[in-house]
């Protein structure tokens, strides 16, 4: 039996996912394949490396600092998440990522990115987080507040633009059991966006990307409905926020970061018996 893990993004809402994943680790739940988008990737790699608590720890420590993320970084570097600090200094020096444990885990880990020239999602297998750090940047490169990331001759933005919740890709990869971790409660749906901004910023050079950004609300909402249907059919198991915790994309309030993490841990704990039953069915 092949177990898949699907991790939605959501910037600092991703600490909900971190709470879920740490609880899965506490209960010995393992996965064969993981596929994430944006923060789902950035925080999800700690599940593969077995570094319980790391995502919460470094975010609480550094989120209040302007060196990590925010308007100062956006104005000086063109990226709201500081490239040097967040992707190079932090995992290699400040709170070291265990690359050896990641590689030894045996988990096939994929990052979803959006090709700005085609407008399509691509799924890049992460075999070495340090050597592929630009893929990690690409999957979380939020439109408008991030520079386009180039990797192996292609240009990418946030994977959530083209595939916010890559559940269908996970099933396509042959996973028999799929655990989906969402960062929005069940009633959430994306509202319509004004197409003029995407057309203004990306339309001339990357019309396919602009088109995809503008169609994202409809695609996201359709994906949520599909997930609800698959969940009812017992084909996937979903863990989502049981209530809304207001957390900004660039959140500096450590109490709010702790609160969304704690909610993830609590929601996962509450569903653990059902999850175990789901994983053990038809084995």
Q: Report the pLDDT value the prediction gives residue 73, as an integer from 0 to 100.
A: 94
Residues 181 and 14: their CA atoms lie apart, in Å, by 10
Phi-psi region of 226 (alpha: psi -120 to 50; beta: other; left: phi over 0): alpha
Residue 100 pLDDT > 80, yes or no?
yes
Q: Report the pLDDT value the prediction gives residue 68, as an integer from 0 to 100.
A: 95
Closest CA to 170 of 109, 220, 113: 109
Residue 65 pLDDT > 90, yes or no?
no
**CA-to-CA separations, 170 to 7, 57, 283, in angstroms, rounded:** 10, 29, 19
What digits encode the pLDDT tens for the residues 193-238? Answer: 889 999 999 999 999 999 999 999 999 999 999 999 999 999 999 9
> Does the model's pTM come out above 0.85?
yes
Closest CA to 164 of 187, 144, 146, 190: 190
Torsion angle of alpha carbons 199, 165, 240, 225, nearest 10°?
80
């Amino acid at each position: 039996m092949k177990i898949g893990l699907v991790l939605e993004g959501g910037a600092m809402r991703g600490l909900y996912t971190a709470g879920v994943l740490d609880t899965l680790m506490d209960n010995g739940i393992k996965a064969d394949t993981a596929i994430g988008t944006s923060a789902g990737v950035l925080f999800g790699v700690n599940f593969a490396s077995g570094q319980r608590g790391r995502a919460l720890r470094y975010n609480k420590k550094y989120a209040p600092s302007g060196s990590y993320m925010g308007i100062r970084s956006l104005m000086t570097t063109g990226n709201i998440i500081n490239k040097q600090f967040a992707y190079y200094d932090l995992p290699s020096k400040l709170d070291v990522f265990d690359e050896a444990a990641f590689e030894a885990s045996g988990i096939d880990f994929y990052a979803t990115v959006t090709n700005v020239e085609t407008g399509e999602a691509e799924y890049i297998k992460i075999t070495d987080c340090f050597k592929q750090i630009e893929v990690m940047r690409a999957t979380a490169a939020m439109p408008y507040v991030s520079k386009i990331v180039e990797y192996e001759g292609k240009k990418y933005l946030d994977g959530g633009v083209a595939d916010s919740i890559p559940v269908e890709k996970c099933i396509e990869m042959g996973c028999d059991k799929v655990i989906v971790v969402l960062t929005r409660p069940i009633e959430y749906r994306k509202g319509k966006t004004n197409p003029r901004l995407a057309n203004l910023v990306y339309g001339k050079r990357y019309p396919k990307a602009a088109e995809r950004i503008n169609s994202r609300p409809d695609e996201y909402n359709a994906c949520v409905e599909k997930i609800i249907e698959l969940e009812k059919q017992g084909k996937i198991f979903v863990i989502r926020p049981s209530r809304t915790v207001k957390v900004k994309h660039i959140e500096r309030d450590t109490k709010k970061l702790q609160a969304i993490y704690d909610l993830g841990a609590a929601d996962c704990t509450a569903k653990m018996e059902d999850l175990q039953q789901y994983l053990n069915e038809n084995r």
